[in-house]
Structure formats: C-alpha cells, structure tokens
C-alpha cells in the first residue's frame, strides 16, 4: 500500500517518544493545522506542550497501524519490544479508541517491559487530547489496581496516586463537557478511597463537595457533573461516624446547623427563632420531619443533622442558580432529584430516626458495588464495605456476587 511507505515515520516517533521521556511535566498534546509540510519537522515542543503538524498525521497513523497489525497477523516475525512500544505510542496518541493496542501495552506492563508509573503519565497526555476516551480511563484503572495489589503496605503512596486521578478527571471534565467517563472515573476513585484509605475519607468527601459546588456553579448544563454531585450528596446523607471516629467538632456542628436554621427562616418568616436556636438537635430534627417522639436512644442526632444540612445547602444553591440562569434543564433535573431524596429522607427518619441505606435504596441510594471493588475490599479486609455489600444483596441479589 502506498500509505505504508512513510520514511519520516520512525524519526517522528522517536522524537515524540524522547519528549515523553525527557519532559516529565508534559501537560498537553494537540494537532496543529498546517497547510503543507514546508520541509520542517512536524514535532513541536514548547512550554510542556507537544504539538504535531497536521500534514503528518494521516501517513503516520497508517504507517503504525499497518505495522502493528502485520505484526499481530504473523507472530513469527519478531520485533524488539522497544520498537513495538514506540509504534503503540504513536498509534494510541493519535487514535486512543483501539482496544487491541491498549491490550498490547497491558501485556508489556505484565512482562515488565513498560513502567506503570510512566504509563500513567502517557495516558494523561492521551486524555488531554481525547478527553472522553473510555479505553484510556479503563486502562488507568487497570494500572491502579495492579499497583494497589503489588505494594499493599505503602498507603500514603496510594493516596497520592488517587489524588492524582482526581486531578486528571477534573482536567478531562474541563476539556470536554458532559464527560461521563471522566466523572465515572472520579466516582470509582472515590469508592477506592472509601475502601482503601478510610482514615482520610471524611475530609476528602468534604473537599470534593466544595469543589463540586464551585464546578456546578459555573457549569449549569453539565449533567454528568451534576450526576457526580448527586453521588457525593448520597454519600454525605448516609455518612456515619465510622469514617472519622473522633467526636464531632462543635464549630462544624454549629456551622451546619446554622445552614438549616437560615433555610427554615427564609421559608417561614414568622417562625419562632428562639425555638430553633435553643432546642436540642433531636427536637429540631423531629420538628423538621414531623415526628412527635423518639423511641431510640442510641441514635446520634448530631450526625443526622449534619447530614441533612448538605441537602439544605444544595437546595439553596439550586434555587439561586435557577434564578440566575434561566432555561437550563439540568438544574431542574437536579431539583427533581432533591425532591425525591427529600421524600426518601423523611420516610427513613420517621421509621428509624436516621437515614438508612436500605430505606433510601429505591429512590436515592443505588450504591452498586462493582465486582472489582468488592474484590479489593475483600483483599483489604474492609469490613464496612463487605457489610454494605451483604446488606445490599438482600435487595439486589446480583450485585454483591
């Protein structure tokens, strides 16, 4: 085939590979439209950014694609692994949707021919260029799991890895609107956090909530970002003391309580302020949920009040956004979610005096635990998660298998 002959290909690929190796802080890759080749190198590298001139893209991709499939068809012709990984790098950089090529890289990692940490850096750049690439995210998760099982002792290292993943999904979400794969990746990472680094999970959840608030304020029609927010809200509503066993800080408690009080005052102008400020948390909650008395004494009402305050906070934000930005469906869908979760919360409180996962399941808490996550939980012996999986299995027998 004519396209197979592209003498400059190997040189271009080497240049690109070298940039990847040398520039640890490389952040971006893009194709630069150029009319003709002007007899110049198509590889541009400046300010941690990599660019390829558009004229070389087509012949270059045809070259690597044909080489790689030739190789797979006649296994006997052997090539050195460094040459193959160079081809793969070129092919995946230009078109990351080919699963076969990712799988070839997976094989290389397994054989020790590629370093998993360097691979993560490579996928960063791929995701910068094609921010909504499912194969690239799935490859990342595969590497993470590999690293997790390899060195179980270094928890802080794993925590760093996870935080990096959160950054990557932020970047991808900013580069491509309604990027469901990026947000799903983030959800997965949060669940991993919950499974592996329980000690910091509480503070992480708070930080994520704040970040999501500012993101949703400026992306009023990004339904994938809002879906992630709902995921966070579910976690916060069902939060129990187990994440951070220390006593609830009175500052936090007061701050969260004030959110609720302000909300009630805005809704009912003639309401008796003194009642809300002086009453016990138990009475406030009973009043809000329309319950007359409490039977259970071992329930921590402080926690329930904090949980509820997140719902209230989100409701206030949603109202404000609806006023500022008219005609955005996503905002109304989010409000619908808030209403249905309110019904579920109320239902749960009247029965148990706290918010329970089983009770919320039908409307709010579809906390599916994926098979791979459960696998990790078993390996890490995370009792909480296994417990949750068992409880969910009553409702959904297939999901905790």
> Where on the chain is the footprint of other proteins (CB under 8 A)?
28, 30, 32-35, 44, 46-47, 49, 51, 54, 128-129, 131, 174-175, 177, 217-222, 320-321, 324-325, 328
Residue with Cβ nearer other proteins (44 or 147): 44
CA dist 189 and 38 (Å) reads 46
Q: In the complex, what is the shortest distance from the CB of residue 219 to other proteins, in angstroms, rounded to a whole number?
A: 5
Q: In the complex, what is the shortest distance from the CB of residue 171 to other proteins, in angstroms, rounded to a whole number?
A: 11
Q: In the complex, what is the shortest distance from the CB of residue 25 to other proteins, in angstroms, rounded to a whole number?
A: 13
Q: In the complex, what is the shortest distance from the CB of residue 324 to other proteins, in angstroms, rounded to a whole number?
A: 5
Residue with Cβ nearer other proteins (171 or 299): 171
Q: In the complex, what is the shortest distance from the CB of residue 170 to other proteins, in angstroms, rounded to a whole number?
A: 13
Q: In the complex, what is the shortest distance from the CB of residue 8 to other proteins, in angstroms, rounded to a whole number?
A: 20
Residue 6: which of 73, 56, 75, 68 has the closest Cα? 56
Residue with Cβ nearer other proteins (176 or 281): 176
Helix axes 134-150, 371-380, angle to 10 degrees: 20
CA dist 296 and 299 (Å) reads 6
Residue with Cβ nearer other proteins (49 or 347): 49
Q: In the complex, what is the shortest distance from the CB of residue 82 to other proteins, in angstroms, rounded to a whole number?
A: 29
Residue with Cβ nearer other proteins (49 or 303): 49
Residue 382: which of 199, 150, 171, 247 has the closest Cα? 199
Residue with Cβ nearer other proteins (13 or 172): 172
CA dist 357 and 396 (Å) reads 13
Residue with Cβ nearer other proteins (147 or 171): 171
């Amino acid at each position: 085939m004519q396209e197979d002959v592209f003498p400059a290909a190997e040189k271009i690929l080497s240049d690109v590979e070298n940039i990847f190796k040398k520039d640890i802080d490389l952040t971006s890759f893009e194709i630069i439209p150029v009319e003709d080749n002007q007899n110049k190198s198509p590889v541009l590298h400046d300010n941690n950014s990599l660019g390829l001139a558009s004229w070389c893209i087509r012949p270059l991709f045809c070259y690597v694609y044909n080489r790689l499939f030739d190789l797979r068809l006649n296994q006997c012709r052997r090539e050195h692994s460094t040459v193959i990984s160079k081809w793969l790098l070129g092919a995946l950089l230009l078109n990351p949707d080919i699963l076969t090529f990712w799988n070839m890289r997976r094989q290389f990692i397994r054989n020790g021919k590629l370093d998993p940490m360097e691979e993560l850096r490579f996928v960063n750049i791929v995701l910068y260029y094609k921010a909504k690439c499912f194969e690239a995210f799935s490859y990342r998760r595969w590497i993470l799991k590999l690293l997790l099982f390899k060195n179980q002792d270094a928890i802080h290292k794993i925590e760093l890895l996870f935080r990096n993943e959160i950054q990557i999904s932020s970047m991808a979400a900013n580069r491509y609107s309604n990027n469901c794969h990026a947000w799903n990746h983030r959800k997965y990472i949060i669940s991993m956090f919950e499974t592996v680094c329980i000690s910091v999970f509480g503070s992480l959840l708070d930080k994520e909530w704040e970040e999501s608030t500012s993101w949703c304020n400026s992306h009023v029609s990004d339904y994938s970002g809002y879906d992630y927010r709902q995921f966070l809200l579910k976690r916060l509503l069902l939060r129990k003391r187990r994440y951070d066993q220390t006593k609830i800080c009175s500052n936090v408690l007061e701050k969260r309580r004030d959110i609720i009080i302000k909300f009630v005052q805005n809704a009912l102008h003639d309401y008796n302020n003194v009642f809300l400020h002086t009453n016990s948390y138990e009475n406030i909650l009973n009043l809000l949920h329309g319950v007359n008395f409490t039977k259970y004494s071992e329930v921590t009402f402080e926690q329930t009040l904090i949980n509820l305050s997140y719902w209230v906070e989100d409701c206030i934000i949603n109202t404000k956004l609806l006023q500022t930005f008219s005609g955005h469906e996503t905002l109304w869908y989010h409000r619908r979610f808030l209403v249905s979760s309110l019904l579920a919360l109320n239902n749960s409180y009247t029965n148990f005096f706290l918010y329970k996962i089983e009770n919320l399941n039908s409307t709010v808490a579809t906390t599916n635990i994926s098979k791979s996550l459960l696998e990790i939980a078993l390996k890490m012996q995370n009792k909480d998660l296994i417990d949750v999986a068992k409880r969910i299995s009553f409702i959904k027998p297939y999901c905790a298998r």
